[in-house]
Structure 1
Amino acid sequence: MPVHPLKFEPIFKPKIWGGRALERLLDKRLPPGEAIGESWEVADLESGQSVVAAGPSRGRTLSQMVAAWGADLTGRASLADGRFPLLIKFLDARQPLSIQVHPGPRTCAQRGTSRDLKHEAWYVIEAEPNAVIYRGTRPGVTREQLAAAGPTRAVVDLLNAAPTKADQCVYCPAGTLHALGGGLVVAEVQTPSDVTYRLYDWERVRPAADAGMHVAECLEVMEWNEPDPRHTARSHVGGLFTTVTRLARCDAFAIEKVRFVERMEQDIPYAELVIWIVLDGRGAVLHRGGEATPFSRGDVVVLPAALSGGRVRTETACVWLEVTIPVASDLAGYDRPSAEALRAPPATPGVVPLRVEQREVRGDRAD
């Protein structure tokens, strides 16, 4: 079977902190009467396995597609212990998430596995006034202070709380103590792990199966890197019909925001795995002699590395996040841009700084 674009059925996860905003903002058909905190869009985990929603591969799982297509799907990107290398979600944090941490590189090296490693980045779709993201500890905070504070409200005073608004992108390396504050809807890009240790949960009472704090585990796996509390620097490349904004880049993924004008058609020039997280607009990916995979707001489209001759056609003005996976040779080619080029705060530690490069962004009007 020739490779083709993939769209998956969303996996909805009820959460005590969730809400219903994914219906309003992303056209998700949520199950009635439940507070939905997460919509897993591309997942290859035991706790969530994506199923192809339409097309020739309808009904097959992402794990089956990885086995069937191999490098034709993932290209040069390495699998994560045999799994698809990324996990893509939408999150509706109506209330704040627990103060938590995921195992970092040091812990995973000690455990002899990368399965628990979870680097993540959030693109903020909507933020209520005064919304914040907690990320890392304040300068000078010690392990002893955290141990004495957890699991109580005193933990919050030891964290960096960065004011947050829509259209910001925040990178959080594995091992960093963090939480989304309440009143945020985000798209999340992460490495495929679902291992979480909680330090504080805002005095909430959870169901027994989801209860409990993990103070000792949090203190054990935390990486004391104290990330810069400011948000990640970005750069822009503009063209006649397209604007590309580079949002974040680390060794696990790179994220750009792409804007296309209406009624535009352009080749898809990649020979690598690409994921589009559609934030606004309608269009289609044309492939295999004219077959079309339509997309609209709230869709996530996986473009296999071996997809050839593909084109994107927009019906309306479109905005999507474009997610790729760098390889070592790509990362080595990026140098720190000048302050004049970016006019932004320094990049977050752990993110490879970006060099502004012109890229072909013209395209053809599909009038």
Structure 2
Amino acid sequence: MKLLNTIRVEKPWGKCELPEPFSSDGQGKIGEIWFDPPAELSDLLVKFIFTSEQLSIQVHPDDTRAVRLEGSRAGKEECWLVLDAQPGAKLGIGFSKQSNATDVRTGAENGTIESLMDWFEVRSGDYFYIPAGTVHAIGAGIALVEIQQNSDITYRLYDYGRPRELHLDKGMAVATFGPHDPKLRQRDVFATSRQLCDGPHFKLWCVSTTSSLSERAEKRCLIIAIKGDLQVSGQVVGQGCCALVEAGDIVLLSDGGIFLRAESLGAQSIDG
């Protein structure tokens, strides 16, 4: 077992006061806490995201388009699990009805793209898988954990007047223009253990227990501690931490605890 190093990232839309168990430390507006991907699972990236303002409306390419447009080996598919949300907080995912590149580009240019998107009011325990090509945005007042392909390719379509570059040509080249598939979202996932994602790039489970749990890891994975006391082979994994777990490691979780387990399906993981 190895705890992953954290990287705290300031963002203009971040928060000065972070929710427990994270410390604010007077470091300005923290928008993201990343976990440095280990060489053994270099194709996965885990981060916590905290918002006080709307994030940009954006889209990511799939692997094929990432190679063609950027010369990169990987695009970016991701998933979100909401940890906390202020009343009325929303995520924008896909479009409310079938659209097209012309209308979406016009909306990005004149600011009406928000009205084309489908906005989901969220609460703790809401889960969404975001396939590459899905136009999406995180609203204000949300704390969530994101598991993604380890890629930083982002095409911003609309940024609420912030002085940052937009990428409309590439964004239109990779975007899909329909509604989000309802099969890719779940509610109240903390209530019982369940699988959240079954590929194509990674698998993800939420493990939740009302009594203590002991299990042996079947294969190398990442574990993200959400609630309760978690130990891996005798080492503590604190809430809000992420650990690389090897096959055979023993995972112990206290009563009422919750953790996430992510396994790579990619070719970039290094066999042990």
Matches for 1:15-30 after TM superposition, within 5 Å: 15-22=11-18, 24-25=19-20, 27-30=21-24
- Output the amino acid matched with 2:204: I
Match of 1:293 among 235, 252, 255: 235
- Output the amino acid matched with 2:258: V
Match of 1:6 among 2, 15, 36: 2
* 2:214 equivalent in structure 1: 266
* 2:203 equivalent in structure 1: 254
Contact map agreement 1:42 1:86 (CA 8 A) in 2: no
Return closer, same or farther for 1:233/1:213 CA change in 2, 3 Å cut-off.
same
Paired residue secondary structure (2:185): coil
- Shift in Å, 1:217: 2.1
Contact map agreement 1:122 1:188 (CA 8 A) in 2: yes
Compare 179-188 and 152-161 and name the one that shifted more.
152-161
- Shift in Å, 1:149: 1.9
CA deviation profile, 1:17-75 (whole Å, cap 9, x unmatched): 110353x22x22344141010000243xxxxxxxxxxxxxxxxxx3xxx2xxxxxx45x
* 1:319 equivalent in structure 2: 258
Aligned counterparts of 1:160 and 1:146: Cα–Cα separation in 2: 13
- Shift in Å, 1:124: 0.3
Contact map agreement 2:49 2:146 (CA 8 A) in 1: yes
* 2:270 equivalent in structure 1: none
- Shift in Å, 1:130: 1.3
Contact map agreement 1:273 1:302 (CA 8 A) in 2: yes
Return closer, same or farther for 1:111/1:146 CA change in 2, 3 Å cut-off.
closer
Return closer, same or farther for 1:323/1:143 CA change in 2, 3 Å cut-off.
same
Aligned counterparts of 2:98 and 2:178: Cα–Cα separation in 1: 11
Matches for 1:74-89 after TM superposition, within 5 Å: 74=41, 84-89=42-47
> TM-score normalized by structure 2?
0.87
**Mind listing any 5+ residue stretches in structure 1 that lack a counterpart?**
44-61, 67-72, 75-83, 287-291, 329-367
Compare 192-201 and 226-235 and name the one that shifted more.
226-235
- Output the amino acid matched with 1:218: G
Match of 1:149 among 99, 107, 115: 107
Aligned counterparts of 1:315 and 1:248: Cα–Cα separation in 2: 24
Runs of 4+ in 1 over 4 A off after TM superposition: 111-114, 233-236
Name the count of aligned residue pairs: 266
Aligned counterparts of 2:63 and 2:86: Cα–Cα separation in 1: 33
* 1:40 equivalent in structure 2: 34
Match of 1:182 among 111, 118, 140: 140
CA deviation profile, 1:152-181 (whole Å, cap 9, x unmatched): 321101111122111011010111111111
**Mind listing any 5+ residue stretches in structure 2 that lack a counterpart?**
268-272
Is 1:245 equivalent to 2:184 in the alignment?
Answer: no
Return closer, same or farther for 1:144/1:283 CA change in 2, 3 Å cut-off.
closer
> TM-score normalized by structure 1?
0.66
* 1:52 equivalent in structure 2: none
* 1:282 equivalent in structure 2: 229
Paired residue secondary structure (1:324): strand
Contact map agreement 1:169 1:248 (CA 8 A) in 2: no
- Shift in Å, 1:114: 5.1
Contact map agreement 2:8 2:33 (CA 8 A) in 1: yes
- Output the amino acid matched with 2:222: I
CA deviation profile, 1:62-101 (whole Å, cap 9, x unmatched): 3xxx2xxxxxx45xxxxxxxxx110000000221110001
- Shift in Å, 1:273: 1.8
- Shift in Å, 1:111: 4.3
CA deviation profile, 1:287-335 (whole Å, cap 9, x unmatched): xxxxx21112111111024xx3x3223455311111123479xxxxxxx
Contact map agreement 1:200 1:213 (CA 8 A) in 2: yes
Match of 1:140 among 85, 88, 98: 98
- Output the amino acid matched with 2:231: A
Give the superposed CA RMSD.
2.6
* 1:232 equivalent in structure 2: 185
Paired residue secondary structure (1:216): helix
Aligned counterparts of 2:181 and 2:88: Cα–Cα separation in 1: 20
* 1:191 equivalent in structure 2: 149
Aligned counterparts of 2:256 and 2:263: Cα–Cα separation in 1: 22
Compare 102-111 and 87-96 and name the one that shifted more.
102-111
Higher fraction of strand:
2
Paired residue secondary structure (2:112): helix
Aligned counterparts of 2:57 and 2:105: Cα–Cα separation in 1: 13
CA deviation profile, 1:231-270 (whole Å, cap 9, x unmatched): 624798x9xxxx52222232111221112346x3524141
Matches for 1:329-348 after TM superposition, within 5 Å: none
